[in-house]
Amino acid sequence: MSLDQQHYIYPNPPLLRLLTNSITFASDFKKKAMKNIVLASTSTLFGENYLAYLKPVIQELFEGIDEIIFVPFARPGGISHDEYTAKAAGAFKEYGIGVKGLHTFSNPAEAIQYAKGFFTGGGNTFLLVKQLHELNLMQPLKKAVENGTPYMGASAGSNIGGMNMKTTNDMPIVYPPDFSTMGLVPFNLNPHYLDPNPELKHNGETRETRIKEFHTQNNIPVVGLREGNWIRVKGTIITTEGSCDTRIFEQGKEAYELPAGTVLSF
């Protein structure tokens, strides 16, 4: 036996696995503890200006930040990336925050890495998810947000914060290569959630019916966000916020309501 072999202590395999798992757990916990996220049902309430109802939320989320990256890929109504970015920039100007569209960077993955904050606007979730996957930006965005970069989404921009996009209300105008999204929260969202209105002579499916259909094939909880509501994530704490109760759907259970300020734990 050589001198080197005599003095080298070989690691115990079970102990090594335990240490490796502990390091991984600590790393994952650290990431969760750094999250600073708002996932809103909508960008605009009826009769109000763009992002007006979220003013105090924006001020808190992006406190001390002078520039954010806007993700315009959802293109509501088919508007261009430049037009959509200009709209977001106009709203954030009030807070002294500059806005740059992600589409304007020659290296968008690098831009995400060094961004101070993110806002992803609403529109078509299928288009948004397709673009993010095809440009290989879904994972860099997820990593940046998990590492603590503030993130706000509205509608489609909130959908991509969930586990996947399967509970969106949007038409499949394009086909994404993958329905998976960032998984910033351990559930899916249904923004713009509407309650059935018995006075309407409508025989089509309700939102609740669609979500029940989802749960015949999936066991992921779904959070129905009514207009004026949002999900707030601070570190490891996830809460329901806004002006209305939030409707919760879980596989095999009756849907139930939670008031603003409730901590979510699935």
**Residues identified as active-site:** 155, 170, 192
Return the structure tokens found at 86.
């200009």
Phi-psi region of 15 (alpha: psi -120 to 50; beta: other; left: phi over 0): alpha
Question: Would you say 259 and 240 are in contact if contact means Cβ atoms under 8 Å apart?
Answer: yes
The C-alpha angle 233, 130, 162, rounded to 5 degrees, equals: 20
Question: Would you say 184 and 161 are in contact if contact means Cβ atoms under 8 Å apart?
Answer: yes
CA atoms of 122 and 155, how far apart (whole Å): 5
- The bridge status of strand 229-234 relative to strand 98-101 is unpaired
DSSP structure string for 146-215: HTT--EEEETHHHHTTSSBSTT--S--SS--S--B---SSSSEEEET-----TTS---S--HHHHHHHHT
- The bridge status of strand 229-234 relative to strand 36-40 is antiparallel
The C-alpha angle 59, 61, 62, rounded to 5 degrees, equals: 70
CA atoms of 256 and 11, how far apart (whole Å): 51
Size (the chain), residues? 266
